Amino acid sequence: MNRCVALLFSLVLISAPPAAAVSLNAAGHVAHGVGSHTIAIDNRGLAAGGAAEASLWYDATRVIYTDTDLQLALIDADGRREVVSPGGNTMRAGGGVWAAWRPDIGLYTSTGLQLPRAGLRDVGPDGAIGYVPDYQSGLGVTVRERDGREWRLSDGFVLDLELLGGGRAIWQDAVTAKTIGLPPVTTITPRVWRPRAAFIRGEWWVTYWTDGQLVLHPFASTRGYRIRQGDDAFNHDVVGLGDSTARIAFATNAAETPGSVVVQDIDVATAPRVELAPTIAPPPAPEPPPTRPVRPPAQEPASLAGDVATARQAYPTPMTPAQLAALLNAVAWQHRAEGWGLLSKPAGNNCPAPSGVLVACDILVHRPSGLHFDVLGDAEGAARPSWGNAGPIDMSRFMAPVEPAGAGPSPDPDPEPPTPAPPAVDLSAVLSRLDALARQIADLRADVAEVREQVITIGSHPVVLPPMLFPEYSGKVLGQTITLRPRQ
């Protein structure tokens, strides 16, 4: 390739987005180095790169890269290299198969597949090729297996695709991690970059970059390992080694230069895991419902035992039900201003109150405190006056007393004061003035009558007016004398 063609080809390569990727093989060795920087294995430089492309594992022992002559070349850990094809803007490899893309050819591969309109996405460890059928649209990915069979991976955007072999893959659609042939992935945040998967200790694990950190955890759990925090973890990869070891590799600079690659091994069987998902503060506890004000303990009223005993003296022994109710009504009426009344009792052993309502035969109720009192012992027999606090009672059963028969009118507990008589007023001066006004009105009426008579008299005689005399006007107009006389 002459120098002009090489220069033009390098400009085309530089204009394409780089496919930077630290790449781990099944044995845990790391291939790295991007573009014109040094191509390396396990931090040991092997050759100079010649384009904005990554170095990737082609098979178990050899790495493929674009050399300084812009050709695809294979190189092993001992530095033995072999040129296999002209280079391209984009290149992927795996399982002994490579694929590349350039504008003038389209997609071309080591298997002989050539698709002029297609774009390249990935090559899996079994040599399967993932491609975009229409490079211009960028939508959808089809996978061609090594035996020529094809299957549709997705109809949408597919970014950071990793084919894992056996019809399995993981990628991101510019928003979330997606899988096919694998369980769904639970990520610690919705947006992830470069998801990479490995099967370790009987389950699938995922590593990705999100929110300023590189993390590793099982597909189904957000408890795992925080590999790196900060902005210096580039182009990571993961592989399972042995029974329970996860090997993570990443570079601390975008060029993946020798010495920049960090390799970290984690025994997922023994290393303690942490919760990686951001902690969401629990919602504030709801405010307690408003509580109804607690009624203070009732204050027991003064005893009415003396008044009950006095009223009892007016009745015989035994007392009839009507007499029992009349006694209770009389005492309650006497103290009605203090809130005393009777207890309604429509069923059972009851007595007819003067109001006609059936009441308890031995109970008085104090409305302000809500308490009721037993005031007669053996009401059906001796009806002995007593005083016993029986506790709170349902105040819907409270019955106000009525005025006892023959008690006469009850004094008004709050009489209004009498209205004071208005002070005496001397009206003689006012009356004298009114008399004077009346006389003046009578005089005016007489005057009006006299004037009316004069008008009538004048109207019955003709009125003779003196003649009106008008002067004459005389003068000259254009030399002639003119005289103006009034018309007779």
- Bridge partner list, 376: 385
Among candidate residues 255, 269, 208, the one with its CA nearest the CA of residue 236: 208
Name the residue ranges covered by the structural domains of the chain: 3-275, 305-399
Spatial neighbors of 227 by CB under 8 A, at least 6 apart, are 207, 213, 214, 215, 216, 233, 236, 248, 250, 264
Q: Does the structure show a pLDDT above 80 at 21? A: no
The position carrying tokens 């008589």 is: 421
Q: Among the ranges 135-139, 296-300, 478-482, which has the highest mean pLDDT value?
A: 135-139
Confirm if 349 and 363 have CB atoms less than 8 A apart: no
List, for residues 86-136, the tens digit of each pLDDT value: 988 889 999 999 999 999 999 999 999 999 999 999 999 999 999 999 999
CATH number of 3-275: 2.130.10.10
Per-residue pLDDT tens for 264-286? 999 999 999 999 998 877 788 88
Instruction: Check pLDDT > 80 for residue 13.
Output: no
The confidence score (pLDDT) of residue 87 equals 87
Is the pLDDT assigned to residue 337 strictly greater than 50? yes
- pLDDT score, position 408: 47
Residue 54's beta-bridge partner residues?
34
Minimum mean pLDDT among 48-57, 75-84, 214-223: which range? 48-57
For 272-295, b/e burial (b = at least 16 CB within 10 A) is ebeebeeeeeeeeeeeeeeeeeee
Taking the complete model, does pTM exceed 0.85, yes or no?
no
Give the DSSP H/E element, type plus range, for residue 450: helix 428-459
Higher pLDDT, 410 or 245: 245
pLDDT value, residue 436: 78
**Radius of gyration (Cα) for the chain, nearest Å?**
59
Output the average pLDDT for the chain: 85
**Confidence label for 464 from pLDDT (cuts 50, 70 and 90):** low
How far is the CA of 196 from the CAs of 77, 287, 418, in angstroms? Answer: 25, 46, 102
